[in-house]
Amino acid sequence: MRWSFFMFDWEKFEEIKPLLQEATRTGVFDELSIPNIAETLRSLDRDAPRSMIANALVADLCGVGDWVSFPKGLHEMISILRRKSNGEDLAEELGRLLSEEQGVEWWFRADEGISNIFAPQRTQMISVCFRAIPQLKSSKEPSGGLSLLTRRLLQGESVDTHYRILNDMFQDCAENGYGIAVWKEN
């Protein structure tokens, strides 16, 4: 499973939500009067289920900035956080972000695509949890040699790197009043 995170413009979502709900209900997406939607519509498989089309439109129209993808390592990071005295709340919130379908309504629920959205208020609260733990400091890596090279090749980015990237993203979301969304690929 591959997880991607991106900043989410909640205000824009609330603005276009009724239009996208109706288009999903009727199947008529071409008549939507939403700026910048035409190019996205051209790139979509029009034979896909309506909810998948709506999901892709929500991501494209409400996503802000670059996406950050993690093919692995997130569950390990959450496990390390759970063992820290001040990491339990953050571990719980990140676990919910990966496992629960909050903010994803019936009309844009899909097997692959946006699987969760946290509103700006929740993102703000999670950014405070991140600030309480400036660095993750997972288990000590071997100091060098073949074992270090092998570990880095097998793992890709370290959980410490994942942690810093997510921390930065949550801080940016909090500073700019954005929520955060998770895109799930099987």
Q: What is the largest CA-CA distance in the chain?
A: 61
Q: Give the per-residue pLDDT at 145.
A: 52
Q: Give the per-residue pLDDT at 152.
A: 47
Class of domain 2-185: alpha beta
Residues near 168 by Cβ (< 8 Å), separated by ≥ 6? Answer: none
Q: Give the per-residue pLDDT at 94.
A: 93
pLDDT in tens, 129-150: 999 887 776 554 444 555 444 4
The angle, 0 to 180 degrees and rounded to 10, between the axes of the packed helices 88-99 and 120-131 is 140
Distance CA 4, CA 66 (A): 10
DSSP per-residue codes, 158-181 = -HHHHHHHHHHHHHHHHHHT-EEE
Angle at 137 between CA 133 and CA 142, to 5 degrees: 180
pTM of the model: 0.86
Distance CA 120, CA 74 (A): 22
With residue 114 as reference, give the H or E element that holds it: strand 113-118
Distance linking the first and last C-alpha atoms of the chain: 5
Structure tokens at 38: 């035409």
Measuring CA to CA, which residue among 52, 61, 76 is closest to residue 136? 76
Which residue, chain included where needed, has tokens 């309504």? Answer: 105
pLDDT in tens, 27-53: 999 999 998 899 899 999 989 999 999
Domain boundaries, the chain: 2-185
Which residue, chain included where needed, has tokens 């942690």? Answer: 163
Structure tokens at 69: 């993808």
Distance CA 88, CA 86 (A): 6
Distance CA 121, CA 45 (A): 34
pLDDT < 70: residue spans in the chain: 137-157
Residue 16: how many CB atoms within 10 A of its CB? 21
